[in-house]
Amino acid sequence: MYYKEQLKKEKYAFDSEELRPYFKSENVIKGVFEVAKRLYGLTFNQLNDIQTWHKEVECFEVNNADGSHVGILYIDLFPRETKRSGAWMNALLENGLYKGKVRRPQVLFVASLTPSTDDKPSLLNYREVETIFHEFGHCLHGLLSDGKYQTTSGTNVFWDFVELPSQIMENWVGESEALKLFATHYETGEVIPDDLISKIKKSSNFGAGYLSLRQLSLGYLDMAWYTNLNKVDNVEEFERKATEKTQLFPSIPGMTVSNSFGHIFSGGYSAGYYSYKWAEVLDADAFEKFKEDGIFNKDTAQSFRDNILSKGSLKHPMQLYKAFRGREPQVEALLRRDDLIK
């Protein structure tokens, strides 16, 4: 990764650290709220009288454009002792029946992003901004559910469908129209300049082909383990055969991936790691619809809300997707986004 970043700097004259001054965490949160408002008419009103588990946690009531209650959102962005690393969304209360009435959801977004210092506010890198939009997509999936029962509401969907609402949100981070809503210099207030946005776009697909092969390789390896019925005496040889279709470089003797592949042995992705790549196919194809109609087109957003975000697992994912897109997803959309085909 180090050498990749060095080559990226040389090739595009772009250091991603240049972006930090434009990504004050407070502004990024306001930005993702504004994107949700423009798409779905949602408003986020901070609640200061709600007891939380830490003073840094913020709580918001989420409402529709007509003022009707959607749910409650908790945001816990920064690292501290006893808090595990990473970023995730959880439902504290899921949408569904409770004592004869449908109870609206309460969800939380937890992360460990770059904190403030004595002389600077929290300034995020580009990947951290994508993380906020990603996890917020999961939050929307939980908040906008209209299901009657908890077990079929919100993010309780097929494992290879659950990442669509999150990954599609990352696309807005790369769009000038969305970036300029919140990316302002923390000292001067200057809106992020067009030349920096251009560099983001030009460098965003750097190494996309290799990264795609790596994800496919991990998916093949996962499936190989969970379809294998024989004893494995040599893990190194087992991996070589499982991933030979995607290997670009010679393997390093004695080095294996399986021994540390926590996702498929303890992380819930057993025989399901492919879902990461499949979700990319779905989100790229779905976002092309937004690009065709306008990234803040309200009719398209309403269709996505009605057919994807609100439905949970009331219908098979392919039925839901076709109701939104009018057809099955096409892998070419992902290849176009990654600049692997024209």
pLDDT in tens, 153-177: 999 999 899 999 999 999 999 999 9
pLDDT at 16: 82
pLDDT at 41: 98
pLDDT at 176: 96
Examine the pLDDT at 11 and tell me if it is beyond 90: no
Distances (CA, A) of 8 to 16, 203, 336: 10, 7, 20
pLDDT at 332: 97
Examine the pLDDT at 268 and tell me if it is beyond 90: no
AA identity, residue 55:
K
Active-site residue flag, 244:
no
DSSP state of 309: I
| Burial bucket for residue 270 (CB in 10 Å: 0-12, 13-18, 19+) | middle
In the chain, the N- to C-terminal Cα span, in Å, equals: 27
Mean pLDDT of 83-103: 91
18-203 under CATH 2.60.40.420, yes or no: no
* Tens of pLDDT, residues 109-137: 999 999 999 999 999 999 999 999 999 99
CB 14 within 8 A of CB 5: no
Distances (CA, A) of 34 to 62, 148, 333: 12, 28, 26
CA separation for the pair 193, 286 (Å, rounded): 28
Examine the pLDDT at 221 and tell me if it is beyond 90: yes
Place of tokens 């989100």: 283
CB 20 within 8 A of CB 123: yes
Helix or strand (DSSP H, E) at 102 = strand 101-103
Two tokens at 169? 């949100």
CB 105 within 8 A of CB 138: no
pLDDT at 4: 78
pLDDT at 60: 98
Closest CA to 178 of 192, 196, 199: 192
Examine the pLDDT at 317 and tell me if it is beyond 80: yes
AA identity, residue 325:
R
Please tell me which residue in 135, 175, 239, 288 is annotated as part of the active site.
Answer: 135
Two tokens at 206? 């750097």
Closest CA to 309 of 95, 93, 60: 95
| pTM metric for this prediction | 0.93
Examine the pLDDT at 5 and tell me if it is beyond 90: no
Domain locations along the chain: 18-203, 208-265
pLDDT at 126: 94
